Structure 1
Amino acid sequence: MHSIRLASPADFPRLQEIEVLAGAAFREVGLPEIADDDPPPVELLAGFAAAGRAWVAEVDGAVAGYLLAEVVDGRVHVAQVSVDPAFRGRGIGAGLVDHVDDGGGVTLTTFRDVPWNAPLYRRLGFVEVEPTGGLAAVVAREAALGLDPAKRVCMLRPGRR
């Protein structure tokens, strides 16, 4: 069982550690450049935390995963969700996504063919959508950072209101 709370500055080193640990798995699927990415800088984490848009999941007091969210096109948009590989398979990432779902729908962008990306999100109720408006801007921002839009997909879990 895990609990979810807002992230605090004291969590930032652990969030960076989780990102490095979780990112290493991308080597196994032919994306070493993702594995080699630097973790999010403290300034970025601080911005999400100050806005009340950074959460951590704890298992027995240990931070096991985290999620950063923003608002895109009036919906919650998952900017990042990562789980320490030592805690995978326990529903922690899904729990974080559920936690931020305000009933108005949740969007994200992710890798189309990475097993723990789009295929997992489909099982969580997400469907592929065309990037328009704010999502198109997110895709453009990712492309500017070197993420190939052909390997990415925009997804939406429809609202439950």
Structure 2
Amino acid sequence: MIIRPALATELPALRTLETAAGAPFHDVGMASVAEDEPPALPVLAASLRAGRLLVAYEEGGPDGGLAGYLMWEPVDGATHIEQVSVAPAYAHRRIGQALIDRAGADGGDRPLTLTTFREVPWNAPYYARLGFRPLTDAELTPGLRAIRAHEAELGLDRWPRLCMRREAAG
């Protein structure tokens, strides 16, 4: 597997991958999440310009081998994982884990944070297996509070959500 910074020419393919990766939300009664628009090209391009967009490829794989991507941003001294998605054809191969680990390494000696659905098996339970722990309300930083407020405005609080954190490896 190859993990590297994304290229501008790959941005449309990341949107396609995101749509496919979201389809399983239909199976857990979350159609609006499954049908949500992927990040817009200008959003992806801004992350690309900031050096905060990674892609994973598996040589010789389907769809040219594009297996996943991760977009992150700095939030209150942490590397906040804004989006991590794996193409369904590459599920269960630890590609998400590899992207998260690389974002942690690229982010320096900072913790990783994310927001996620509490009860979706490939969300909070998955991240817990990768060493993330749920944050209490008292532990939320101002930046995480702002992210959660924005998610609530988008209607994502229809389902239980939480913030999680993994300490820096070093």
Q: What TM-score does the superposition give when structure 2 sets the normalisation length?
A: 0.90
Q: Is the aligned partner of 1:78 residue 2:81?
A: yes
Find the counterpart in structure 2 of residue 17 from structure 1.
16
Instruction: Using the TM superposition, give the Cα deviation of residue 13 of structure 1 relative to its aligned residue in structure 2, in angstroms.
Output: 1.3
Match of 2:50 in 1: 51
CA RMSD of the aligned region, Å? 1.2
In the alignment, what sits opposite 2:128?
122
- String of CA shifts for 1:9-47, please: whole Å, max 9, x gaps: 111111011111010000011100001101111000000
Question: What does residue 146 of structure 2 align with?
Answer: 137
Letter of the aligned partner of 1:36 in structure 2? E
SS of residue paired to 2:39: coil
Tell me the residue number matched to 1:64: 67
Contact 1:139 1:149 in 2 (8 A): no
Identical aligned residues as a percent: 47
4+ long deviations beyond 6 Å = none
How far has the Cα of 1:132 moved from its partner?
Answer: 3.0
Residues 107-118 of structure 1: pairs in structure 2 closer than 5 A: 107-118=113-124
CA distance in 1, matches of 2:92, 2:110: 27
1:4 and 1:149 mapped to 2: Cα distance?
Answer: 34
Query: How many residues get paired?
Result: 160
- Aligned partners of 2:117 and 2:159 also within 8 Å: no
Task: State the partner residue of 2:25.
Answer: 26
* Distance (whole Å) between structure 1 residues aligned to residue 158 and residue 141 of structure 2: 14
Structure 2: runs of 5+ lacking an equivalent: none
Query: After the TM superposition, which of the residue ranges 150-159 and 44-53 deviates more from structure 2?
Result: 150-159
Contact 1:6 1:55 in 2 (8 A): yes
1:63-94 CA-partner distances (Å, limit 9, x unpaired): 11000000011110000000000001111000
